[in-house]
Structure 1
Amino acid sequence: MASTKFKKPPQAPPLFTHTPESLIKDTERFIDASKALQDRLVKEVSPEKAEFKNVMLPFAQDDNRMSLESHIIGFYQAVSVDHKLRDASTEAEKKMDDFAIEASMRQDLFDLVDAVFKKQKDDPKLDAESRRLLEKDHKGYVKMGLGIPAGPQRDRFKAIKKRLSELGITFQKNLNEEQGGLWFTPEELDGVPEDVTSNLKKGDKGTETEGKLWLTFKYPDLFPTQKYCKNAETRHKVFISNENKCNQNVALFKEAIVLRDEAARLLGYPNHATFRIEDKMAKTPKTVDDFLGDLRERLAPGGVQEIEKLKELKKTETGSADKYFLWDHRFYDTLMLERDFQLDQNRIAEYFPLQTSIEGMLNIFEELFGLVFVKLESEERNAISESGKGDDIVWHPEVQVFSVWDDEGEGNGFVGYLYLDLFPRDGKYGHAANFNLQPGFINENGTRRYPATALVCNFSKPTPKKPSLLKHDEVVTLFHELGHGIHDLVSRTIYSRFHGTSTVRDFVEAPSQMLENWCWTPSQIKSLSKHWSHLSPESKQAWEASAKSGEKQPAADMPDDLIKSIVNTRHVNDALFNLRQLHFGIFDMTVHEPSSHEAVEKLDASVTYNALRHEISKLDGPEALGEGDGWGHGQATFGHLIGGYDAGYYGYLSSQVYSADMFHTVFKKDPMDGKEGRRYRHTVLERGGSQDEMQTLEDFLGRKPSTESFYKELGVS
């Protein structure tokens, strides 16, 4: 880490001192203020006199002000330990969504925006970002039903939008608060690493669960069990139960896809996918379907070959392998990596203590992008908190905070705040994600407002004797999410609505996916790693206490053979991994591209999900045991399709096309080229969504993007 002395930032970090009551009160206050502004503009400005500066600018500045509070108010439902605060956050988000829907369906506001659009959409006196704002806002009103004549149809459209907002919020809340799990004996969990089983809840004495362990469906329990548990029946039970959690979401998902289709048809679109994709880089569902279809055709033979090899491995283990099940895959994939490629994930994890990996990652971003990260300890937190209390600038004691600065070459300016919330808790968001807490923008007086961004993850907790140790795939996940965080921090836009990761969905993953390449580069793997026994004298003692008799302390640096084993396995069983992504993408398009409204009403989402998975991934599920296709409902656990990736999940794959192209064209030769890193920062990351994303890509590459690097990397060119 940079040894920069603490400097007081020019802007205090946000405070997390809300109560359930204050959340609702604050939400109502800024909604009332926003509504008063809208009413005033409608009263004072006629369509004839409407211009960008007296209509669009006040709206945009109001958006900026609201975003400083609204993002945090909605964030509590993902991270707070207080269920009342989570409930209030959910209620507040619903109020904000309802207000946004009301405002975006006001004819009187649209009349003003429409008048400005007709006058100034090509006005050279407006800067490019302001013209983009005008175009996007105008289109937003049209897509909210203001092209539908006033009356019953428009009222119906409005009711659908409100209901869809409720469905999304409830669906995600159910996932966050899911408390399911299964009781197993230690024998049934044979093979699961001790650092997982030692953290599991134990059954009470004198009850039927005495002597058993409670395995939850949270990632730190679920994935190691699927990868390492030798008992196939346990893996089977865990897999099926996990696919059947949150069954209250089944009806919510079905209602959402039916309502989305109805809303799209009311607007004159043939289906929801056409409605959603026209503003993305792909533009049409046909482009998406062709891309996914082509990829499926190219990957399918490789997938079949990979399954045959994995079946052989299963046969050597069990004596028979006529079927290769969904609950077999993570186990035999891991076993193959260990046996054929000497990839020992538990040994590798010993070299990735969480804190060391974070420091290594931040060092990479410092060198590449010209940044400086200063970790704020309690004294510094007290000094910069507006309340004078350092605890008030975090939502939980475990949260780490950094002030982020430009280095000398970039001008020494302040960049923003980065928060890391790394361990699981009850009621916390269950995956890994980056949340914008406050966007950056230009204030009304022309000064800059700086962003604050949070990484929310679920890595295994440290124990008194051992730090949190990451598997290599967790290192990749952390680097990916930190990539989103950097995008959020270094963005420099005029308006908050284009800040950072506020790009189209089929581009937003590309910058982070590109940065994942650093986790597969030998020199960078070395810089991210250090054996945990070298962290402190206490760590050395703890390692010695757990070491076998006569075992020598490993070297601090990860040995080259271990690094080689990681790099060599990057594309092992890659066809199956990408066929899994294709299953998600094709399912998403299938439910959002029905032939008619009746077709989506009749569609059984669970059967469709499972049947497509079997067809595309080629892995056997319970249907291979004669149980039919209705055995589980994975779509009810799939937050992406309710939380903004609807008719957009393909973006994970199309973003990989762009990320592979950027990496191979610019960084493959020298991933730590600071000159190119800074060019990437200024050309791609700073722009956020303030210009057409294809333009951003072409500016960086110097040409139109190509699929060649992507297909070459997958070995299917």
Structure 2
Amino acid sequence: MSPVPPQPLPRVPTTEEIVPAMQRIIDEFNIVRAQILDTTTPATATFDNTMIPLAHVEDAVQGEIAMIDMLQYGSPSLATQDAFNVAQKLYNDARASWTADAAFFSLLQAVRTKEQDFNALDPESQHLLDRELLDYHQAGHGVLSPTDLEIYLRRRSEITELERQFQQNLAREDGGVKFTLEELDGVPREELAKWRDCDNDGSGEDENSKRKFVPFANGGTMTVLTNANRSETRKKMFLADSHKLGENKPLFEEIIRRRAKQARFLEYPSHADFRIKRRMVKTTAWLRGFLDQLKEKLCPLGRDEVGVLQRRRVEDLRARGQDTDNGSADQRVGNGFPPWDKRYYEKLVQQDFEIDQLHISEFFPLEQTATGMLGIFAKVLDLRFEPVSVPTDDLKDVIWYDNVRVFSVWNSTNDDETIGYLYFDLLWRENKYRGNQSVNLQCGYEKPDRSRQYPATILMCSFPTSTPTSCTLLKHHQVVTLFHEMGHGIHDLLARTKYTRFHGYRLPPDFGEMPSMMLENWCWMKDVLQDLSCHYTTLDETYLSEWRKQNPGKADPPTTIPGELVDNIIRHRHFNQSLYYLHILSISLFDLQIHTTNTDDIDHLDVQKLWYDIRGEIEFMDYSECRDGYGFGTFSHLTAGYDVCYYAYLCCAAMAQDVFTSVFAADPFDKEIWDRYRRAILQSGGSKQDLLGMLEDFLGRPVNMNALVETLTRAASEQ
């Protein structure tokens, strides 16, 4: 029998409890702050009497706040999400009032200036005080008058509300396109079965005249772009998708205008210079140089990759007897390639490599693949994952949706040593966050009595729902995504910090993405892929029966993925990788450009034009027919905390490649190396101020920020 975890599962509040709970939390902060101000002066202020009481409240209430915050992503109830919005506004207003408090800023500043006392603190406590002071400095203390500070904070709250509206529009978007079955030629039958039938268009009773409503969400757009044989179908879907959420265009433009003016109000040259203070990278000059260098090195590789797609496209069009885009001009390699054709011709080229992503996906049913990944982490990190059985009567108290699963996590070398809880919430549903992410539900921290609060974290994804005759199946790139997000969750579980402020991946994203990106390399190992795989027909007799109907006369499929198929996946692992990173680079450059435009020019910046200009230049696609779209209005990162940070994926990819190549590649399952990595990197969370220095200590040398480019260049030369 498994041991009982020392703390219960966190409780999910009812809709009616959310706002009162947030008000109580705010009251707890207000009481402690008032007590500190009543009993302390700048002369008597110390870390113990000023910062520690605040830290204790923050630690104690963090789990409740995180649960309420999670419900904005995970609750299927719009009423619950609306209650979150009210609660979040209360909390944001309270935080604004706290950071507006000049008297409290004076106490914190006094603590910081007592150098002897400061130097006596442990490094994590020093970091906590410096981070708290940064909050006050970036609220205008030391720069703005009391009146201007009030104006600044009011405007900051208004930006937060605009960002909330942007995200809410994105989460509640429910559009799509109606297609006849003839237009959807090439789309797998199991995908068609997921989409609802529409009234036909009156053209007759022919089967192909029947229509399906294909939603943008739940994998609809991607499925059509990848599989529909007709270019006009792919184009129609792509253009419709790019024109959704037009209401987010003015919101986004207003957000970046206000950000620029707020930064200037605080005497920063730009919003980028303001935000970079909270990143591992500390100057916009370094960032611009890093991105320009990537552009110089990656663009030639990307141009060649588009050339491969273009040649395959021309071959396909000629084979279909179609005009190849008005003659020789558009047939020139890399010129005039339409973005709606990228996924489709990637698929055809992969099929030329004898890589069929639909066939591959049959061996990676979602639930079994996710559970198999837990086995990998159990092996290398000496962990044990035990399913938690929740009594039916208690489900509504601890689970926010009926298909959520929970595991208790333990150190396998010590059966009594708990790690925390891991939740799986893996499938798309209405009103749920549309991307894939790891969501902290409870930070770990050291309690005043020196015992520990254990963490809880959620793997919250939106993988497409199952079909009537099969379970949810993952293409290889989705396997990589799942492993990446699970890596964040493991990072969150293994952190052992003193304060919640620095727990897990609560660190700058331009370092925090590195551990998970490093782990993606395991998804290209033959043993790993074969161990994770099991053909979905082995899970249920009805699946096998349906497969036999669809494949008459064929032998039953193998139970695990064939070795030769895995060999092909690995052999072509770098196919279109440069284009993948150039896509990230284009958005990173857009992110940097809109957030470094000065206040004199920001009102005249054509965000829509800039978005498509940069994407066309860097990604070598022809966006001329969709430049009136709102791609930036469907992109969540830049209004959800990743402003001046999308480059993090490039920065972390470089560090991750360096770490994997130099430390793990020789023996990816060396438990001594994993133990050293766990203690040096994962357990530290965000507690170290010098994150790059922490990584250099682990490597024993400076980080090679060119590792990614070197790998892609070498791969291109070997093809």
Into which bin does the TM-score normalised by the smaller protein fall? over 0.9
Question: Which of residues 548, 563, 566 is equivalent to 2:566?
Answer: 563
Residue 534 in structure 1 maps to residue 538 in structure 2: yes
* Rounded Cα–Cα distance in structure 2 between residues aligned with 1:138 and 1:633: 38
Instruction: Give the aligned partner of residue 711 of structure 2.
Output: 713
Which residue in 1 is equivalent to 2:4? 8
Task: Give CA-to-partner distance per residue, 1:145-182, whole Å, 9 cap, x none.
Answer: 11223244222211221111111211111111111111
Does residue 59 of the first structure (1) align with residue 54 of the second (2)? yes
Output the CA distance in 2 between the equivalents of 1:172 and 1:199: 26
Structure 2 partner of 1:617: 619
Shift of 1:597: 0.4
The answer (yes or no) to whether the contact 1:157–1:263 under 8 Å persists in 2 is yes
Quick one: distance in 1 between partners of 2:71 and 2:279? 30
Q: Distance in 2 between matches of 1:121 and 1:507?
A: 31
Aligned to 2:387: 375
- Matched residue count: 696
Which is further off, 689-698 or 284-293? 689-698
Letter in 2 for 1:364: I
- Once residues 241 and 567 of structure 1 are traced to their aligned partners in structure 2, the CA distance between those partners, rounded to angstroms, is 35
Counterpart CA distance in 2 for 1:70 and 1:81 is 19
SS of equivalent residue, structure 2 residue 511: coil
Matches for 1:39-438 after TM superposition, within 5 Å: 39-120=34-115, 123-204=118-199, 211-319=210-318, 320-321=324-325, 322=330, 323-339=336-352, 341-377=353-389, 381-382=390-391, 389-408=394-413, 412-438=416-442
- What 5-or-longer segments of structure 2 have no aligned partner? 319-323, 331-335
Q: What secondary structure, in the 3-state scheme, does the structure 1 residue paired with 2:622 have?
A: coil
Question: Does residue 654 of structure 1 match 2:651?
Answer: yes
Residue pair 1:121, 1:134 contacting (<8 A) in 2 also: no
1:635 and 2:632 correspond: yes
Note the C-alpha offset of 1:247. 1.4
| Misfit runs of 4+, over 6 Å | 205-210
1:151, 1:462 → 2: CA distance?
57
C-alpha displacement of 1:464: 5.0
Is 1:196–1:220's contact at 8 Å kept on the other side of the alignment?
A: no
Counterpart Cα distance in 2 of 1:701 and 1:360:
29
**Cα offset, 1:696, TM superposition:** 2.1
Q: Which residue is 2:333 aligned to?
A: none
Whole-angstrom distance in 2 between the partners of 1:397 and 1:207:
41
Match 1:644 to one of 632, 641, 646:
641
Is 1:442 aligned to 2:446, yes or no?
Answer: yes
For the 8 Å contact 1:176–1:429, the answer to whether it is kept is yes
Q: Provide Cα deviations, 1:84-129, integer angstroms capped at 9, x if missing partner.
A: 1111112211221221122112111101111111114863431110
Q: Kindly provide the amino acid, as one letter, of the partner of residue 513 in structure 1.
A: M
Q: What fraction of aligned residue pairs are identical, expressed as a percent?
A: 35
- 1:688 equivalent to 2:682? Answer no
Alignment-mate amino acid for residue 228 of structure 2: C
User: Conserved in 2, the CA contact under 8 Å of 1:299 and 1:716?
Assistant: no
CA distance in structure 2 between the partners assigned to 1:183 and 1:18 by the alignment? 38
2: distance between equivalents of 1:255 and 1:297?
32
Query: Within 1, Cα distance between the matches of 2:173 and 2:583?
Result: 24
Q: AA paired with 1:278?
A: K
Counterpart CA distance in 2 for 1:674 and 1:404 is 18
Q: Distance in 1 between matches of 2:177 and 2:343?
A: 19
Residue 66 (structure 1) shift: 2.2
Q: Deviations over 1:320-361 (max 9, x none)?
A: 15121011111111111111x111111101111112211210
The residue type paired with residue 474 of structure 1 is Q
Counterpart of 2:672 in structure 1 is 675
Secondary structure, aligned partner of 2:43: helix
Q: Distance in 1 between matches of 2:678 and 2:203?
A: 58
Which letter does structure 2 place at the counterpart of 1:693? L
Q: Specify the code of the residue in structure 1 equivalent to 2:695.
A: L
Per the alignment, residue 494 of structure 1 pairs with: 498
CA distance in 2, matches of 1:275, 1:107: 21
Q: Please give the alpha-carbon distance, in whole angstroms, between the structure 1 residues aligned to 2:203 and 2:253.
A: 38
- Taking the aligned partners of 1:609 and 1:106, their CA distance within structure 2 comes to 40
Give the counterpart letter for 2:634 in structure 1. T
- Residue 716 of structure 1: CA displacement? 6.2
1:694 deviates by 1.2
Letter in 1 for 2:711: E
d(CA) in 2 for partners of 1:280, 1:463: 42
One-letter amino acid of the counterpart of residue 406, structure 2: V
Deviations 1:578-609 (A, max 9, x none): 11111100000000011x20211111111110
CA spacing shift, 1:180–1:538, aligned 2, 3 Å: closer
Q: 1:554 to 1:482 in 2, by over 3 A?
A: same
2:144–2:266 CA contact under 8 A, matched in 1:
no
**Structure 1: unaligned runs, 5 residues or longer:** none
Distance 2:545 2:239 in 1: 42
Q: For the residues of structure 2 that align with 1:452 and 1:258, how far apart are their CA atoms? A: 38
Are residues 543 and 130 of structure 1, via their aligned partners in 2, closer, same or farther at CA, if it must alter by over 3 Å?
Answer: same
1:326, 1:620 within 8 Å by CA — same for their partners in 2? yes
Evaluate the alpha carbon distance shift between residue 61 and residue 338 of structure 1 in structure 2; reply closer, same or farther with a 3 A threshold.
same
Q: Aligned match of 1:665 in 662, 671, 681?
A: 662
Distance change in 2, residues 1:154/1:391 (3 Å): closer
Q: Secondary structure, in 3 states, of the residue corresponding to 1:500?
A: coil
Shift of 1:699: 2.4
Deviation at 1:205, TM superposition (A): 7.1
SS of the aligned residue for 1:572 comes to coil
Q: 2 CA distance for matches of 1:571 and 1:190?
A: 30
Mapped partners of 1:120, 1:89: distance in 2 = 42
Per-residue CA deviations over 1:549-596 (Å, capped at 9, x if unaligned) read 2211122121111101211222112222111111100000000011x2
Aligned counterparts of 2:567 and 2:201: Cα–Cα separation in 1: 50
* Paired residue type of 1:618: F
Contact 2:111–2:118 (CA under 8 A) maintained in structure 1: no
Structural RMSD (CA): 1.9
Is the deviation greater in 457-466 or in 191-200? Answer: 457-466
Distance in 1 between residues matched to 2:241 and 2:466, nearest whole Å: 25
The alpha-carbon distance between structure 1 residues 91 and 363, as it changes in their structure 2 partners (threshold 3 A), is same
Partner of 1:144, secondary structure, is: coil
- Aligned mates of 1:456, 1:694 — CA distance in 2: 29
CA distance in 2, matches of 1:445, 1:470: 46
Aligned-partner Cα distance in 1 for 2:116–2:608: 45
- Contact kept, 8 Å, 1:189 with 1:230, in 2: the verdict is yes
Aligned residue type for 2:162: L
Q: 2:549 aligns with which of 545, 548, 553?
A: 545
> In the TM superposition, what is the alpha-carbon distance from 1:708 to its structure 2 partner?
4.0
1:508 maps to a residue whose letter is G
* Deviating more after overlay: 468-477 vs 457-466: 457-466
What is the distance in 2 between the residues matched to 1:208 and 1:479? 47
| TM-score computed with the length of structure 2 as normaliser | 0.94
Preserved CA contact (<8 Å) 1:406 1:413: yes
Measured after TM superposition, the shift of residue 269 of structure 1 is 1.0
Q: CA separation in 1, counterparts of 2:399 and 2:671?
A: 33
Report deviation, 1:538. 4.3
77 and 147 in structure 1: CA distance in 2 versus 1, 3 angstrom threshold: same
CA distance in 2, matches of 1:148, 1:614: 41
Distance 1:12 1:376 in 2: 11
Contact 1:52 / 1:120 at 8 angstroms: preserved in 2? no
